[in-house]
Amino acid sequence: MTAGPPRSGAPRHAEDSPVTRESMAQWTAEIHNVISALFERLDGTRMVEAAWERDGGGGGQSRLISEGQVFEKAGVNRALVEGILPPEAAKRLGGNMPTGSTPHFFATGVSVVAHPRSPMIPTVHLNVRYFELCDADGNRHDAWFGGGTDLTPTYPFIDDARHFHWALRRVCDAHNPAIYPAYKTWCDEYFRNTHRDNEARGVGGVFFDHVRGDDAPFGLTPSALHRFVDAIGRVLDAAYAPIVERRRDLPYSSREKSLQLYRRSRYVEFNLLHDRGTIFGLQTGARTDSVLMSMPPVAAWPAQRMVEPDSIEAHLDAMLMPQDWAVGG
């Protein structure tokens, strides 16, 4: 099966868009189309789309490749939701609201998780989002961006980790050289299974949350901050697609496949126990199947795991230790 025509929608650059609800809705719609087209090209398969509505306000579009040529499962979801924020969600968010007021929210974002068929290709995740808190009269009291992307390999190809991080560093450095080391460290600290002795989910990437334009992080104006988040939303074409292309036809055995299923179990544990986006989506009544899009189609929890010295399992465990992937020339 061949990929369909490109997703519709004329490009609109972030520098042309003021940070309003309308511009953020248009921006996430474009990012949704850009990333969907990328995965359709990589897999040669048209994504299946399902639209959904949320009780209380808003909805979204879920696009999915299931049992594709390259990806067992790849989802690209867009959500635009609003309404009254449940107390548990408001407490977790930590936004700024007047004491005693009822928090209303507006949130829009794109979430991506791709689980390849081959264990030689790493899993990838990306998310970009915009969030507002306001009162019942619509007065905005807080607003911020969040997002990031990270790589989860099964086979320990060091070159893949280096390529991914160098692509991220180049994007970050174009906005401020201080961004990459700060958000890389944040990612290393966030994507950890604390219940598994702080085991890392993968080789990291960049992660950020509650980044406010009014705070001028790294000297970025609100519009410059939006341009940075927009660039992260478009980075997979440079950071991930070349990895897929060079690994997609490599042979593998049942050993690598078993290791992939084991690593997927750790992915499941993180997303169900620790991931902010999963918890927020379930607390605010988003479509459950879309929230759990990140789950792999198959995973395994072996009763016992033996790691021989100098094995691929041992080399993978070593890669999961935080390290400087984007160093040197």
Assess contact for 278 and 293: CB atoms under 8 A: no
What is the phi/psi pair of residue 67, to 5°?
Answer: 55, 50
State whether residue 37 is helix, strand or coil: helix
Look up tokens 């959904």; give the residue. Answer: 52
What residues are labeled active site?
A: 125
Assess contact for 64 and 74: CB atoms under 8 A: yes
Neighbours of 292 (CB within 10 A): 15
How do 104-116 and 192-193 pair as beta strands?
Answer: unpaired
Assess contact for 300 and 265: CB atoms under 8 A: yes
Q: Which of 323, 190, 196 is nearest to 266 (CA)?
A: 196
Q: Which long-range contacts (CB under 8 A, 24 or more apart) does 218-223 make?
A: 218/175, 218/176, 218/178, 218/179, 218/182, 219/176, 220/175, 220/176, 222/19, 223/14, 223/15, 223/18, 223/19
Distance between CA atoms of 298 and 60, rounded to whole angstroms? 25
Neighbours of 47 (CB within 10 A): 21
* Helix or strand run (H / E) with residue 187: helix 179-190
Q: What sign does the CA torsion over 275, 59, 289, 64 have?
A: negative
Distance between CA atoms of 294 and 77, rounded to whole angstroms? 10
